[in-house]
Structure 1
Amino acid sequence: MDKPLNSLDRHFHLPHVRRVEADRPLMWLRMGWEDMRSSPAASLGYGALFAVIGYLILAYAARMPYLFTAAISGFFLVGPLMAAGLYEISRRHERGESVSFMDSLRGLQRHGDHLAYYGAFLAFALIGWERLSAILFALFYHETASPDLANFFQDVFLSGHYAQFVVSYLVIGGAIAGLIFALSVVSVPMLMDRDADIATAMMSSARAVGHNLGAMAVWAGLIVALIGIGFATMMIGMVFLLPLVGHATWHAYKELIE
């Protein structure tokens, strides 16, 4: 197993990955909370901005259940890129530099090229997932009309009438989400912090996940739970929870990547 990794190191100069305990994500959240407390205006500004954008997207998709579910799951796919400004806030706070919303935007501008390329990768992933979601609905949901969104989870996910659809949706969606998570969990913070290319950042992220499966499983579960609360509160909770997760992700990167 060491030989392939050493070969990757020689060709891509991958940084060393630290191993952490499975409960370490709880400390990342605590440190993220401290960052948010230190710069509440800038942090909550990002939270409010993306909560509004998320609400508008969900409102647009409300009458199309397949698109609505794809939009919710797609939010998790693009989340790492959306939080780039929050990583910059944490980076500046760590270095004792001035921290404001405008300061974070200047940080995004400095890394605009790499973030744009990474955004293109996520856009392809999101479009692919939206198309797969539509295909799954077409294959397994044979009613003449789409289910009412208010009763969607009861009619489709909880009734037991669409078990094939539910299993297929969760398996395929989970596989895509797991792959994107592995490639992105620390890659965007790394792009914000170092002069690294996208391939190096993504491979470093995948290695960090592979070396810390327990901690990464806990971290993924916490992200899903916290962002899920944000959706359950009609995006109001997202104003606070998205910055918390974003800042915590920065600290995850700093601990995992040497």
Structure 2
Amino acid sequence: MKLAEQPVASPEAARVLQPLGLADPWRWLRAGWSDLLAAPGIALFYGGCFWLMALLLGAVFRNKAEYTLSFVSGCFLVGPFLAMGLYESSRRREQGLEQSLAASLTCWDRRLGSMGMLVLVLLLLELLWGRASLVVFAVFFTTGMPSTASVLQAVFNPQNWQFVAVYAVVGGVFAALVFSTCVVSIPMILDRDTDAVTAGIASLQLVAERTGTMLLWGALIVALVLAAVLLPWAVGLLVVGPWLGHASWHAYRGSFAWSPLTPRAQPAPPPA
């Protein structure tokens, strides 16, 4: 006799990748700007943090270029936690909750394990990036590590186009890896309490399957950051930093939806 099937409830949910177009990144920016205006004090705090990091990085590069890589490593440690605070601000506004700086500063404490794993992945990529950069420098600078002046001279000297091209390719590859791994993974960890591996895979899936949209999104991020740092004293980061943070939350929310998993079926117990 064929046994009846009974559903087994599951509290989990499956992520569903949404269709995206070239208009979506602009919509994310508009939504991010709205979030910034809704909580300008929170935005100013995080913008000030990003601005201070940029000033310190510039000072280290100009005066102690050999410590630049170490400082960048520190930015990789601090940056994700700062970004998560902005995502929390957008999340709370989306849900109609009261926004507060204290809540944004402590939102990561319940997700420290997942965030710690993701930061380790970022640090590994950054260390590999640094090693690859050293190889490029070793090929073009035979007198040891270059100083700040020699790096700038190499970049702006047309005779060193091979160095510039190779360095740009190497940097582009690692930048693409970092972007692909993190573009939605941190907001997903905040929103769903997802482990770092699952969030990273989802982020890579998004970039692989919605490549055109994500290329435009990455280009907009680069363009806005460059415009911000080219202003005197990089003051543009006071606005662009939190703006992109809020917009990245909407990039995540627009890229994935969540639906209950189809319940597994199992045979009903035989009648007594």
- Counterparts of 1:58-207 in structure 2, within 5 Å, are 58-63=58-63, 82-142=82-142, 146=146, 148-149=148-149, 152-153=151-152, 155-207=153-205
**Cα distance, 1:133 vs structure 2:** 1.8
Conservation of the 8 A alpha-carbon contact between 2:29 and 2:247: yes
Structure 2 CA distance for partners of 1:226 and 1:78, relative to 1, 3 Å? farther
Structure (1/2) with the larger helix percentage: 1
Conservation of the 8 A alpha-carbon contact between 2:80 and 2:119: no
One-letter identity of the residue aligned with 1:178: A
- Please give the secondary structure, in 2, of the residue aligned with 1:107: coil
Conservation of the 8 A alpha-carbon contact between 1:182 and 1:206: yes
Structure (1/2) with the larger strand percentage: 2
Structure 2 CA distance for partners of 1:178 and 1:145, relative to 1, 3 Å? closer
2:229 counterpart residue number: 231
Cα distance per residue 1:64-87 (max 9 Å; x no partner): 557659978996998555411100
> How many pairs align?
245
Bigger radius of gyration, 1 or 2?
Answer: 2
Unaligned runs of 5+ in 1: 1-11
Q: Distance in 1 between matches of 2:164 and 2:70?
A: 13
Residues 1:257 and 2:253 are matched in the alignment? no
1:46 counterpart residue number: 46
- What is the RMSD of the two structures over their aligned residues, measured on CA atoms? 2.7
Conservation of the 8 A alpha-carbon contact between 1:77 and 1:126: no
Give the percent of matched residue pairs that are identical in Structure 1 and Structure 2: 33
**Cα distance, 1:239 vs structure 2:** 1.1
Conservation of the 8 A alpha-carbon contact between 1:183 and 1:205: yes
Structure 2 CA distance for partners of 1:157 and 1:94, relative to 1, 3 Å? same
Structure 2 CA distance for partners of 1:196 and 1:159, relative to 1, 3 Å? same
Shifted more, 169-178 versus 58-67: the winner is 58-67
Cα distance per residue 1:192-240 (max 9 Å; x no partner): 0002111111111111112211111111001111111232233311111
- Please give the secondary structure, in 2, of the residue aligned with 1:111: helix
Q: Distance in 1 between matches of 2:151 and 2:72?
A: 14
Shifted more, 60-69 versus 168-177: the winner is 60-69
**Cα distance, 1:178 vs structure 2:** 0.9
Cα distance per residue 1:32-75 (max 9 Å; x no partner): 00000001101110110121123112211223557659978996
Structure 2 CA distance for partners of 1:92 and 1:152, relative to 1, 3 Å? same
Q: Distance in 2 between matches of 1:230 and 1:67?
A: 24
Conservation of the 8 A alpha-carbon contact between 2:73 and 2:123: no
